[in-house]
Amino acid sequence: MMQSLSAIVQQYRKSILVLVVLIGLPLIVIAAFPYVMSLTVPPDWLLVYEVTEEKAGEGMIVHLDDQNFKDYPVLEEVLQGSEQFEPGPPYSKGDLRRVGEVEYPEKITQGTIDRYIFDNTTGERKYFEYNGRYYRIGTLYAD
């Protein structure tokens, strides 16, 4: 004799509940794992270096002013931040001088690289000019 669906569900209620827990719980853990892992991985750093004008001439120069600083918040924080940096000694050709660093709140992605390091259309390294000085961005991966 055929039983109705509700009678079958009622008969196997405990088995169905166990199956739902055994299947649902691992799915929830798998979905939450990337988020939990991102909380344990330290953020990356973006480093700001001052370079010579000759070195900057080898790439694409972005001239910074008060308006386009908003497009480059890392440079804004370092170059216009509350901690003023002291100009270093004169450079030799191609020398770099570290000006500052910013803890980047996320893992560095291709979008970050396109914004700060390389121009994605020409492939040239980006250099930033501000108040007659030239800068470039470097990366430091925390993991």
Check residue 121 and give its pLDDT.
85
Check residue 93 and give its pLDDT.
64
Q: Which two tokens stand for residue 63?
A: 């001239």
Strands of the sheet with 126-130, listed across from one edge: 60-63, 126-130, 133-140, 45-51, 96-103
Would you give the distance in Å from CA 27 to the centre of its chain? 28
pLDDT surpasses 80 at 133: yes
Tens digits of residue pLDDT in 44-103: 788 888 888 888 888 899 998 878 888 888 888 888 775 666 666 666 666 778 887 887
C-beta separation of 101 from 47 below 8 A? yes
- Cα torsion at 86, 104, 58, 83 (round to 10°)? -10
Non-local CB neighbours of 65 within 8 Å, separated by 6+ positions: none
pLDDT surpasses 70 at 6: yes
Bridge partners, 120 (sequence order): none
